[in-house]
């Protein structure tokens, strides 16, 4: 998969290019991350990419021309979706990550300053936010998307199945995990995990996922396709929630 990142600060991405899972994925040619400096496409002799807003106001606005030309330099006649990292977009989640992971190539546009010229939206397919808070620019959001989408691409993780049990992949938060030692400062690994009974372990893990999700993110339970066993367990625990 190809990630084309339009940014004013390409050096910010050195960390994800040179470390851990993403570095190995790049070396194995499973993903490609192209960093495009928007400044390279400005027609301003001083390499400015921003200007004061018409009508007055605080801050600077990214100009439409450099953004437009940078996007067009990648797309040409190709149909590649453009995602803008902006505060007015849909909140990013695992469902969006899964849809993105099925694409061959995408463009991630990192906003900055007080935003972009409204006319730049003419070449943007979708605006995405990673949460209701303010950041300096869209680079960190783009990194989060690259990381979460890459994990879903076959071969990127050591075992293709390993992401399936992670929080949010199946809709619920992940169950508790334990490793050695068996006992630490009086805290012991639950006996069920040592039993070797895989059916009972799976049942325990599912129930613990329900417990954790109910207490930390009950909104996710409303969206989950619950089984009859899940509903029976929820009723036994006395959990109260209503499906949307």
Q: Token pair of 201, please?
A: 């372990």
Determine phi and psi for 133, rounding to 5 degrees.
Answer: -155, 165
Question: Is 86 within 8 Å of 127 (Cβ atoms)?
Answer: yes
Question: Angle at which helices 198-216 and 228-237 pack, to 10 degrees?
Answer: 60
The CATH topology of domain 2-150 is Alpha/beta knot (3.40.1280)
pLDDT of residue 222: 86
Binding residue positions: 111, 130-135
Binding residue positions for S-adenosyl-L-methionine: 111, 130-135
Label residue 181 exposed, middle or buried (CB < 10 Å: 0-12, 13-18, 19+): exposed
Residues 6 or more apart whose CB falls under 8 angstroms from that of 27 comprise none
pLDDT of residue 131: 94
Give the span between the Cα atoms of 140 and 39, in whole angstroms.
19
pLDDT of residue 162: 54
Range(s) for CATH 1.10.1270.20 in the chain? 183-237
Q: Token pair of 68, please?
A: 């437009």
pLDDT of residue 77: 77
| DSSP-derived 3-state class of residue 3 | strand
Residues 6 or more apart whose CB falls under 8 angstroms from that of 32 comprise 1, 2, 3, 26
pLDDT of residue 198: 96
| DSSP-derived 3-state class of residue 137 | strand
Range(s) for CATH 3.40.1280.10 in the chain? 2-150
Is the domain spanning 183-237 CATH 1.10.1270.20? The answer is yes
pLDDT per residue rounded down to tens, the chain (244 residues) = 999 999 999 999 988 888 889 999 999 999 999 999 999 999 988 889 999 999 998 899 999 999 999 999 999 878 999 999 999 999 999 999 999 999 999 999 999 988 999 999 999 999 999 999 989 999 999 999 999 999 999 999 876 545 555 545 467 898 999 999 999 999 999 999 999 999 999 999 999 999 999 999 998 898 888 999 999 999 999 998 766 5
Residues 6 or more apart whose CB falls under 8 angstroms from that of 73 comprise 36, 41
């Amino acid at each position: 998969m190809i990630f084309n990142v339009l940014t004013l600060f390409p050096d910010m991405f050195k960390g994800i290019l040179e470390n851990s899972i993403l570095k190995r994925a790049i070396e194995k040619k499973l993903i490609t991350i192209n960093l495009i400096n928007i400044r390279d496409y400005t027609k301003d002799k001083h390499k400015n990419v921003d200007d004061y807003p018409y009508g007055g106001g605080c801050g600077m606005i990214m100009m439409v021309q450099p953004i437009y030309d940078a996007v067009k330099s990648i797309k040409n006649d190709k149909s590649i979706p453009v995602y803008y990292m902006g505060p007015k977009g849909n909140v990013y989640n695992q469902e969006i990550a899964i849809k993105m992971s099925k694409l061959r190539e995408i463009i991630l546009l990192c906003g900055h300053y007080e935003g972009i010229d409204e006319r730049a939206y003419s070449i943007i397919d979708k605006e995405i936010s990673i949460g209701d808070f303010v950041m300096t620019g869209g680079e960190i959001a783009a990194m989060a998307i690259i990381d979460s989408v890459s994990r879903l691409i076959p071969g990127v993780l050591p075992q293709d199945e390993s992401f399936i049990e992670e929080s949010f992949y199946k809709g619920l938060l992940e169950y508790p995990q334990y490793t050695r030692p068996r006992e630490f400062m009086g805290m012991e690994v639950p006996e069920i995990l040592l039993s070797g009974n895989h059916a009972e372990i799976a049942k325990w893990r599912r129930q613990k996922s329900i417990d954790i999700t109910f207490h930390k993110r009950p909104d996710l339970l409303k969206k989950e396709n619950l089984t009859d066993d899940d509903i029976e367990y929820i009723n036994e625990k006395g959990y109260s929630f209503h499906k949307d």
